[in-house]
Amino acid sequence: MLTLNEINDAYREIKDVVHRTPMLTSRSLSKKCANHIYLKSEHVQVAGAFKIRGATNKVKAAAKEGATHVITASSGNHGQAVAYIAGKLGLKATIVVPENVVTSKAAAIHDYGADIIHCGTTSTERLKKAKELTTDEEPVFIPPYDDPLVMAGQGTVGLEILEQIPDVDAVYVPIGGGGLISGIATAIKASNPEIKVIGVEPERGNDTYLSKQRGDITAIEHADTIADGLRASQPGDLTFPVIQKDVDDIVLVSDDAIQAALIFVLERMKQLIEPSAAVTVAAAMANKADMREKNICCVISGGNMALDKLAEMVTEDA
């Protein structure tokens, strides 16, 4: 099981690469949510999402062991992060993305100098492809979430939340494969078990919700939510036990609520966040934690939003 020590070690390892991201507040958002809302702003993180934290911890460790070529499977943000850090450290990178990858994400991966391979539409298909291309030697596989070094890297978000809001009462965290929430929950519960850690999934991507309910890893057929970073078919073998132990609750939000939250943050706070990040704001707006006047942190996990998709959303909303 992941430990606070591993997260502290990860923080030392990645500090020179990642930003300590701001904690934004908005009176209008807090009023709407009947709580004091803080946005942990990983949408302004290096490469546009928190994924650079875990990727940096893992790729640096691989490089220390002599790796010169890394490979991964990702719907976009993890691929961007691996491409970025590999380029920075002078390693070659290959990224397996879905056929329907968000165009801006594929363009960014390409710009960071990595090779792109398209494969299938599910995380299962592309993970299989990347693993097929992985050998005992090179390239070295960099998992998107189910890896102790990746989970520890993502957990550094939790360390910063504790420093930035010492009296935080609850934290909403989006769940894809569960790397982010298992890291954050470990950091937070080790510091103060009273702080609530609440996972958020889209209704149309509720694999971890179902898994937690049944007490066993449960896969879903097809996650077709607009939150493209949360379309993992099932939680990981390493992330799920941490989620069972340290996550207090998992709540679901609709795609309409995700869209409304994204537009609210854009209009009122002038921040462009992606749907996978907006789930936590949607949960706060629906007061899924059932709290009043508490300090609640919404983890804004990324801001890589294709502008053509944004234009469609804004037009629908108008």
User: Which residues bind to ligand PLP, rule: CB under 6 A?
Assistant: 49, 51, 77-78, 145, 154, 174-181, 229-230, 232, 274, 276-277, 301-302
> Which residues are identified as catalytic?
51, 75, 201, 205, 207, 301
SS3 call for 20: coil
DSSP state of 302: B
On the 0-12 / 13-18 / 19+ scale of CB atoms within 10 A, 263 is middle
Distance separating alpha carbons of residues 257 and 302, to the nearest angstrom: 17
CB nearer to ligand PLP: pick between 110 and 136: 110
CB 70 within 8 A of CB 93: yes
Smallest gap from Cβ 270 to ligand PLP, in A, equals 19
Distance separating alpha carbons of residues 252 and 204, to the nearest angstrom: 9
CB 202 within 8 A of CB 279: yes
Smallest gap from Cβ 292 to ligand PLP, in A, equals 27
Smallest gap from Cβ 176 to ligand PLP, in A, equals 3
Smallest gap from Cβ 68 to ligand PLP, in A, equals 26
CB 102 within 8 A of CB 76: yes
Longest dimension (CA), the chain: 55
Smallest gap from Cβ 302 to ligand PLP, in A, equals 3
Between the CA of residue 119 and those of 73, 227, 236, 246, 276, what are the distances in Å? 9, 19, 20, 34, 22
Residue 130: its H or E element: helix 123-133
Smallest gap from Cβ 3 to ligand PLP, in A, equals 18
CB nearer to ligand PLP: pick between 35 and 280: 280
**4, two tokens:** 């606070």
CB nearer to ligand PLP: pick between 28 and 213: 213
- For residue 6, which of 154, 195, 141, 146 has the smallest C-alpha distance? 154
On the 0-12 / 13-18 / 19+ scale of CB atoms within 10 A, 318 is exposed
Distance separating alpha carbons of residues 216 and 101, to the nearest angstrom: 30
